[in-house]
């Protein structure tokens, strides 16, 4: 409260060199910063940067740099967690997976097992933290206040089972990304995707130092600013496509090593992005990785992952997926009425059997989209001849 008053006082004090609009925007930014749930040390650092911003005229290049930095700080979800996250019964998780994914019984069961253990671990860690507080309370002098907080962050993570990150491995198009979305829905969490394909520099994950021109935060912090909460389901897409070490260590460090730190429960509760340069807690994120080829993932990173192999679909499953999901979606995309355009007889089975040779269904969906576009052309041609059902 006292700190907030000081911050707004600082806002009123200076004008900078900009117009009224600029001043109003800086004032609004100051109020947003004061409203953040920051640790005292972090808040002190941020206030110092804000004070420096107010002392600079808007024409100064540093003014834009500092303002961009503070806008990022204000956009991050400091202390904001999802209400009722992971309190839903496991049956809801299975139901969500069944609703959006045909078959895959073994995959769904493995995911259920993973999150059942995770829920029990969270419950135990919470009880142990409560017990430690009760034991420490009678004798805790003022000097003992910080260590329990640090211990509370570290101790539960030490008790976690060591593969802590789910990794869905399988060929393209089998639904790995949509499984991640279903997990987020079932756990009542936000969903964000971080594309790792082609990342060849650890700075893309860990951020660039603000001394560099055009510096930016890393992809993890940027994704959190989009999520608006500290505990989303974060999909690390194509973790096997991280840039190879040849040259990357020479130029900007190994991105796989940076990812190891991000995923390590012993370290990620105080992750420091180089651009942000403030500790941020990543331990509440539910990380889900995807990969096509496990052999491309470095050994130390593989050790951190709970691998679940997602198999390709059988012909019967592809037909059913097409009927339930792909064909209706392509009809909507082409603005076609399902009563006017139908796939008669064994047309769908023939498309699946003769024209697709893939484990997933991406090519199949493209073909169904082509059928819909052809039907759209034919319908427009026939409009002058009256209405009638178009058979694909």
Alpha helices in the chain (DSSP H): 2-13, 20-34, 40-55, 61-75, 90-100, 105-136, 146-159, 176-186, 203-206, 219-227, 245-251, 255-263, 299-303, 315-321, 327-333, 347-355, 362-382
pLDDT greater than 80 at residue 191: yes
Strand-pair partners of 234: 192, 287
pTM, two decimal places: 0.74
Q: What is the CATH number of domain 90-130+162-309?
A: 3.40.50.300
Confidence grade of residue 95 (pLDDT, cut at 50, 70, 90): confident
Helix (H) or strand (E) holding 234: strand 233-237
Measured at the alpha carbon of residue 175, what is the angle toward residues 169 and 178, in degrees to the nearest 5? 110
Q: Among 80-94, 157-171, 234-248, 369-383, which is the least confidently predicted range?
A: 157-171
pLDDT (0 to 100) of residue 385? 67
pLDDT (0 to 100) of residue 34? 92
pLDDT (0 to 100) of residue 242? 85
pLDDT (0 to 100) of residue 322? 86
DSSP string for residues in 334-380:
TT--TTTEE--TTHHHHHHHHH---SSSHHHHHHHHHHHHHHHHHHH
List pLDDT tens digits, range 122-141.
778 778 888 888 787 655 44
pLDDT (0 to 100) of residue 292? 93
Domain boundaries, the chain: 27-75, 90-130+162-309, 315-384
- Give the mean pLDDT of 41-59: 92
Q: Does 315-384 match 90-130+162-309 at the fold level?
A: no
Measured at the alpha carbon of residue 84, what is the angle toward residues 288 and 108, in degrees to the nearest 5? 40
List pLDDT tens digits, range 19-44.
577 788 899 999 999 999 999 999 99
Phi, psi of 391 (to 5 degrees): -100, 125
Owner of token pair 């540093």? 62
State the Cα–Cα distance between residues 373 and 376, nearest whole angstrom: 5
Phi, psi of 72 (to 5 degrees): -65, -45
Q: Could you tell me which of 138, 134, 130, 135 has the C-alpha nearest to residue 156?
A: 130
pLDDT (0 to 100) of residue 290? 95
- Give the mean pLDDT of 41-68: 92
pLDDT greater than 50 at residue 5: no
CATH fold for domain 315-384: Helicase, Ruva Protein; domain 3 (1.10.8)
pLDDT greater than 80 at residue 247: no
List pLDDT tens digits, range 195-245.
998 888 889 999 999 888 888 999 999 999 999 999 899 999 999 988 754
Percent of the chain with pLDDT over 70: 82
pLDDT (0 to 100) of residue 10? 40
Strand-pair partners of 307: 167
- Give the mean pLDDT of 48-67: 91
Strand-pair partners of 233: 191, 286
Cβ density class 178-210: b for 16+ within 10 Å, e for less: ebbbbbbbbbebbbbbbebeebbbbbbbbbbeb
């Amino acid at each position: 409260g006292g700190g907030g008053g000081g911050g707004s006082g600082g806002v009123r004090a200076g004008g900078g060199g900009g117009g009224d609009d600029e001043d109003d925007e800086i004032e609004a930014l100051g109020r947003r910063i004061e409203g953040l749930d920051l640790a005292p040390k972090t808040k002190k650092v941020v206030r110092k940067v804000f004070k420096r911003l107010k002392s600079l005229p808007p024409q100064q290049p540093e003014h834009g740099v500092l303002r961009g930095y503070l806008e990022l700080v204000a956009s991050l979800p400091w202390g904001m967690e999802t209400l009722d996250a992971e309190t839903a019964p496991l049956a809801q998780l299975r139901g969500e997976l069944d609703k959006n994914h045909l078959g895959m019984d073994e995959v769904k069961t493995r995911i259920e097992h993973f999150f059942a253990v995770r829920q029990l671990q969270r419950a135990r860690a919470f009880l142990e933290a409560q017990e430690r507080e009760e034991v420490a309370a009678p004798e805790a002098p003022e000097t003992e206040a910080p260590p329990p907080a640090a211990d509370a962050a570290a101790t539960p993570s030490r008790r976690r089972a060591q593969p802590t990150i789910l990794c869905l491995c399988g060929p393209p198009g089998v639904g790995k990304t949509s499984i991640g979305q279903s997990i987020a829905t079932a756990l009542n969490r936000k969903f964000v995707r971080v594309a790792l394909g082609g990342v060849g520099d650890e700075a893309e994950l860990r951020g660039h130092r603000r001394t560099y021109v055009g510096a930016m935060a890393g992809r993890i912090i940027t994704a959190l600013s989009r999520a608006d909460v500290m505990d989303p389901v974060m999909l690390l897409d194509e973790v096997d496509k991280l840039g190879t070490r040849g040259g990357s260590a020479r130029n900007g460090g190994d991105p796989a090593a940076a990812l190891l730190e991000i995923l390590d429960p012993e370290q990620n509760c105080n992750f420091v992005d180089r651009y942000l340069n403030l500790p941020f807690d990543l331990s509440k994120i539910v990380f889900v990785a995807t990969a096509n080829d496990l052999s491309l993932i470095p050994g130390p990173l593989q050790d951190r992952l709970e691998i679940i192999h997602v198999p390709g679909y059988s012909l019967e499953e592809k037909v059913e997926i097409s009927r339930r999901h792909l064909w209706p979606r392509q009809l909507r995309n082409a603005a076609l009425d399902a009563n006017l355009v139908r796939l008669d007889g064994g047309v769908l089975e023939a498309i699946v059997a003769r024209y697709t040779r893939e484990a997933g269904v991406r090519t199949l969906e493209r073909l169904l989209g082509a059928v819909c576009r052809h039907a759209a052309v034919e319908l427009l041609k026939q409009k002058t001849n009256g209405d009638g059902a178009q058979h694909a």
